[in-house]
Structure 1
Amino acid sequence: MGTEFWIQMIVYAVSLGSFGGVVLTKLNNLEKKQDKHNGLIERMVVVEQSVKSAHRRIDEIKESEHYYED
């Protein structure tokens, strides 16, 4: 096997390593975006629960006001 073969193998290895690095970088960026999205979903669940609770309290207040009006 000549020198050209080994040079070509080194070029392929460097190219493959570069491609792998790009893929890993993009995967890390996607993971960060996914983490942000998951954090948003978790916060929205808390907000939805709070809103439901607030609506129940408002309904209770309206019912008690209606009771006193009669």
Structure 2
Amino acid sequence: MEPEIAVALLALLGTLGGSFFGVLASNKLTNFRIEELEKKVEKHNNLVERMALVEASAKSAHKRLDELHEEKE
């Protein structure tokens, strides 16, 4: 085999290997970022649910205060 062909084949293997491992690393990073975003979205959704409960509780408390105020008068 001529040296030029051997060098070309080695360069091809290096390029393919580098590209393959680069894609794997990129996918790994993308998956990590997606998981982190999912965690943040879950925290946000929990906060929204808790705020809805707090608003309902505050509404109930205001209603009771209004009733007590009316009884006092």
Fold conserved between structures, TM > 0.5: yes
Q: Structure 2, unaligned stretches of length 5 or more?
A: 1-7
Structure with larger Rg: 2
Match of 2:48 in 1: 41
1:2 shift after superposition: 1.5
Q: Structure 1, unaligned stretches of length 5 or more?
A: none
Aligned residues: percent identity? Answer: 33
> Runs of 4+ in structure 1 displaced over 6 angstroms?
none
CA RMSD of superposed structures (Å): 1.1
Whether 1:61 and 2:44 are equivalent positions in the alignment is: no
Code of the residue aligned with 2:48 in structure 1: it is I
Match of 1:3 in 2: 10
- C-alpha distance in 2, partners of 1:51/1:35? 24
Matched length: 66
Match of 1:51 in 2: 58
